[in-house]
Chain A
Amino acid sequence: MTQAAVAVERLEKTLGANRVLRGISFQAQPGEIFGLLGPNGAGKTTTLRIICTLLSPDAGQVRVLGFGTKTAPAEVRRRIGVVTADIGVYPRLSARENIEYFARLCGLEGAELVRRLDGVIERLDMGSFAKQRAESLSSGQKQKVAIARAIVHDPEVLMFDEPTSNLDVLASKEVRDFMVESKGRGKCVIFSTHVMHDAERLCDRMTILHQGLVVAAGPTEEVRGDKRDLESAFLALVET
C-alpha cells in the first residue's frame, strides 16, 4: 500500500471554550481530490490549519508524506500549498513580486526561481497582469496570485479552503479546472467546501465533519448512497 499523502489520526482541538475537533481521522492519497465537507463551524478550517502546521493539535497526530506536523513542521510546509478564500496579497508589490517573495521563502533562487516563476505565470495565464501592482488587480486575478504563490514551489499536497467563495462564475471555473489538472499531475488535493455541487463533481473521496466529528467518509458515490444527490445526503447526515 502506498504512503498516504496526508494521514490524520484522532485529531482533537479546543479553541477557547469551543471543542472544535473531537478525534477525527482520515487519509488523503496522491492523485486524488479529497473533499473535507461540513457546515460552518464543523472544524474544516481548523483541520486544514493543523495539517499545514499553523495550529497544534491538543491530541492526535498528522503526517504529511511521512513527516509529522509536530516533529518536522518545516518539512511539512515545504510539501504543501494552501489556497484560501481570503485572498491576501501585498498591495504594493506586483503580482510577480508577490509570487517571487513566497518562492524565495520556500528556498527557490537563481535560474530555478526564474524558471518556476515564468512557468507558473504561464500556467495560470497571468502574463497580462504579472507586472501590475496587486492593489489594482481584480478578485479573480488576486486569486490567481494566491494560487500561484501556493504552487510555485511545486508542493505534493494542495489544500483549497473555500477557494471559490469570493469569486465570480468564470474565476470559480478556472480554480476548479486547476484542481482537476493538479490531480492529473499526481498531486493530493484536499478541497474544503460547503458547496455540495462542486464537491460532488470534483471529489474522488470525502469526509463529512459535523460538530467536530466525522459523520461520513468514503468514495463520493458511497457517501451519497441512495439519496438524489450529495446535498440531500449531507442534509440527512447533519440534520439527524
Chain B
Amino acid sequence: MHWAWIVLKKELTEVLRDRRTLLAIGLAALATPLVLFVVSQVSSRTATQTYTVGYSGDIPTGLDILLRATGLALEAVPDPAAAARLQVDLGVSFRPGEIDEYYDPTRQSAQIADIRLQTILGQYDAAQAAAALKDRGIDPGILTPLKLVAHPLSSPVKAASNAFLSFFLPYILITMILTGGFSAALDSSAGERERRTLEGLLLTPAPRSQLLLGKIAAITIVSLAAAVVAIGSMFVALTQISLPGSGAASNHITLSPTAVPVMVGLALLIAFSFSSVTLALGTLAKSFRQGQAYVTPLYFVTILPASIILFIPDFNPSLAYYLIPILNAVLVLRDAIVHDSVSWPALTVTTISLLATGALSWVAALRLFTREALLTK
C-alpha cells in the first residue's frame, strides 16, 4: 500500500493543478443549480401564464367569468378554427347545446389551454345540473351517490419532492461520478503514454498492481468529489427554489435519512468500477484525444439505465434485474428516496453485482496495464 499511497498523492497533486479537471468539477457545481433554476422558472411561468381563447357565438352565462378566473383570456374571432392555428391558443365556437373546440396538439400552450377548458366545463356542467335539480326540489347530492374521501399516506408535497429526487439524484450521481473522473483517468493513463512518462514509472521497483491501485484511488476520489460538489450544490439550490408540485415556498425538498447511507455506499462502489473501466480504456489509448474517443461511449451506455426512472417511474422489476450494474443502483436509490426504506435482498444483489463489476474492471485494468504492448505499440 506504500507505493499506492505515493502514486495517489502525486496524482491528486496533479489533478489539483489541472485546469481541465477543476473546470469540469466547477461546471458541475454550477450546472445543476442553473438547470433547476431554469426548470423552476419555466414551470412557474407555465402555471401562472394566461392563454388566449378565440371564440365565436354566445358564451353561456357565467362561463366567461370562470374561464377568465383560470387564466383563459377571451377574444372574439370570426373563425375560431383558423385563429387556433396561429392567432390564439385555443379556438371555441359556442352553439346552442354544443361547443366546438379547435386546437393544435403539437403546441404545448394549446394543450394546457385545452386542459383548463375541459376542467372548467366539467365544473360548469356539474354546477348547472345541480342548480337545475335544486330548482325542481331535488337534492343535488344524488349526482354524487358515492362520496370519495381521500386519505394520502404521505404529504403530497413530500411525494412530489421524492418523485423529483428519485429521478434527478441517481442521474446526477451516476453521470457526475462518470464524467467527473474522465479527465483525471485519461490523464493518468493515456496521458502517461503521450507524455512518455509511463516507461519511467514502470522502471521503478514498485509493483504495477500498486501503481494501478494508486491511480484508481485518485480517480475514485476525484469522481466522488465531483459528485459531492454537484449534489451539494443541487441541495443548496433546492433550498432557494420552489419546485412545481411542492406547493408553498417553505416546503423544501429534503433527502430521507435512509437514502443518505445508501447513496454513499452505492457511490463508492460505482466510482471504483468506473475508475477501473475508464483507466483500462485509457490504457488502450496512445493519447488523451484517442482516450476520449474510447471512453465517450461509456457515457451513453450508462445514461440509459441512469435515466430509466424518467421513462418508467413505477418500474418494479424482479430481483434478477438488480444484477445489472447502474440500473440496480438507480432502482435501490429510488426505493430509498421514495419509500424511505431499503429492500435488503435488492441491496444485497446490487452490492454483489457492483463489487463483481469493480473486481472484473480491476482485473481488466491490471491486465491491460501490465501487457508488453503498452510500451511496444
Residues of A within 8 A of B (CB): 15, 49, 52-56, 74-75, 77-78, 80, 82, 84, 86-93, 97, 101-102, 104-107, 146, 149-150
For B372, the chain A residues whose CB sits under 8 A away are 54-56
Q: Is the CB of A77 within 8 A of B197?
A: no
Q: Is the CB of A88 within 8 A of B196?
A: yes
Q: Is the CB of B204 within 8 A of A77?
A: yes
How far, in whole Å, are A88 and B10 apart by their CA atoms in the complex?
A: 16
Known A55-B376, A78-B205, A93-B10; judge A105-B199 contact (CB<8 A): no
Residues of B within 8 A of A (CB): 3, 6-7, 10, 13-14, 17-18, 195-207, 372, 375-376
Q: Is the CB of B14 within 8 A of A93?
A: yes
For B201, the chain A residues whose CB sits under 8 A away are 105
Q: Is the CB of B205 within 8 A of A74?
A: yes
How far, in whole Å, are A4 and B67 apart by their CA atoms in the complex?
A: 100
Question: Which of B195, B199, B206 makes the CB contact (< 8 A) with A91?
Answer: B195
How far, in whole Å, are A71 and B166 apart by their CA atoms in the complex?
A: 55
Q: Is the CB of B3 within 8 A of A93?
A: no
Known A55-B375, A74-B207, A102-B204; judge A93-B199 contact (CB<8 A): no
Q: Is the CB of B203 within 8 A of A93?
A: no
Q: Is the CB of A15 within 8 A of B376?
A: yes
Return A147 CB to nearest CB of chain B, in Å: 11
Q: Is the CB of A105 within 8 A of B3?
A: yes
- Which of A80, A86, A105 is most buried by chain B, counting CB atoms within 10 A of its CB? A105
For A104, the chain B residues whose CB sits under 8 A away are 6
How far, in whole Å, are A77 and B207 apart by their CA atoms in the complex?
A: 11
Return A179 CB to nearest CB of chain B, in Å: 18
For A102, the chain B residues whose CB sits under 8 A away are 200, 204
For B6, the chain A residues whose CB sits under 8 A away are 101, 104-105
Q: Is the CB of A52 within 8 A of B203?
A: yes
How far, in whole Å, are A15 and B14 apart by their CA atoms in the complex?
A: 34
Known A86-B196, A88-B195, A89-B197; judge A54-B202 contact (CB<8 A): yes
For A52, the chain B residues whose CB sits under 8 A away are 203
